[in-house]
């Protein structure tokens, strides 16, 4: 399991740079990142091991954020494996709220998956 920070930013040039600089200035290393925009707002998901420093850096820079524990899973890197896992989770009533690829290679892929029911998801994975 890992901690994911979901940060809201403005959808305009330079905002990701400001966020990354605010974290870097506090010595926070970004382990994995995913970002998207919609409706004039940017959404950045960060996986970071230094949770205390991350909270402090985000608050000091005035960012709105939510943090959550996410599952880390490793799957065989072949067609259909993510679909199989997502179907099992859905069949157990677990909603996937985020997904970030952490690494891939050697026929394996590691992902961080945010879910609405962590305990139930753990029993399925």
95, 57: one domain: no
Residue that terminates a domain, selected from 26, 51, 67: 67
For 104-121, what is each residue's pLDDT tens digit? 999 999 999 999 999 999
pLDDT at position 37, please? 94
* Ranges assigned E (strand) in the chain: 2-10, 32-38, 41-47, 64-76, 96-105, 108-115
Give the whole-angstrom CA distance, residue 98 versus residue 92: 17
Give the whole-angstrom CA distance, residue 19 versus residue 92: 36
102, 120: one domain: yes
For 32-64, what is each residue's pLDDT tens digit? 999 999 999 999 999 998 999 999 999 999 999
Strand partners, 74: 110
pLDDT at position 2, please? 87
Would you put residue 118 in left (φ > 0), alpha (ψ -120 to 50) or beta?
Answer: alpha
74, 60: one domain: no
Tokens of 89: 């989770």
pLDDT at position 125, please? 87
């Amino acid at each position: 399991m890992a901690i994911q920070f979901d940060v809201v930013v403005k959808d305009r040039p330079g905002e990701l740079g400001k966020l990354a600089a605010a974290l870097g200035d506090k010595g926070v290393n970004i382990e994995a990142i995913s970002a998207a925009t919609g409706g004039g707002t940017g959404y950045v998901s960060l996986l970071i091991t230094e949770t205390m420093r991350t909270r402090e850096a985000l608050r000091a820079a005035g960012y709105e954020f939510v943090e959550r524990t996410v599952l880390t899973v490793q799957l065989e890197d072949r067609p259909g494996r993510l679909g199989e896992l997502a179907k099992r989770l859905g069949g157990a009533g677990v909603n996937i709220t985020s997904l970030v690829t952490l690494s891939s290679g050697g026929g394996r892929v590691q992902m961080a998956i945010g879910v609405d029911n962590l305990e139930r998801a753990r029993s399925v994975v």
